[in-house]
Amino acid sequence: MLFRTRLAFLFLSLMFLFGACGGRDPNWKETHPVTGEVYVDGAPAAMLLVNCTDLAGIDTEQPTLSKAYTDDAGKFEISTYETGDGMPEGEYVLTFMWGKFDAISRGYSGPDKLNDKYLDPKKSEHKFTVEKGKPTDLGRIELTTK
């Protein structure tokens, strides 16, 4: 009897574990691909943080955070819930931060190599719209350290 109880517990635990890993959260907003590339002073910028700010403000009922890090070629794919899944439709502005990347914390330390020039969403010139069902290619974004 004890063996059957343990076996049943193990079976239910495995069902819960595998059930929790599958599928999307039904509360997630629909996302659409957003890609681009960033060059700084004419060269591809690797491990540069690209942040997206919703111009409509924070959705207090279903808040999201969309961002990306550039690869070695300066290319990026915005992520909201999962790597490269894109972002919800709306109007956005980009900000940029380029510090020393710490792989363990997945964050930056030290000063911004861009001298904090691109951190303020209110001053950003990089605005774009994400439309339902359409991928958005932001093309090549040129930034400078000067």
User: What does the pLDDT look like over 15-45, one tens digit per residue?
Assistant: 444 444 445 688 899 999 999 999 999 999 9
Q: Tell me the pTM.
A: 0.79
Strand order in the sheet with 49-54: 66-69, 49-54, 90-97, 127-130
Q: Determine what percent of the chain is predicted with pLDDT higher than 90.
A: 72
pLDDT for the residue 29: 94
Which of 92, 90, 81, 87 lies closest to 126, judged by CA? 92
- How many Å apart are CA 35 and CA 137, to the nearest integer? 5
Q: Tell me: the pLDDT tens digits for 10-23?
A: 443 444 444 444 45
Q: Tell me: the pLDDT tens digits for 87-117?
A: 999 999 999 999 987 878 877 777 999 999 9
Structural domains in the chain, sorted by start: 34-143 (2.60.40.10)
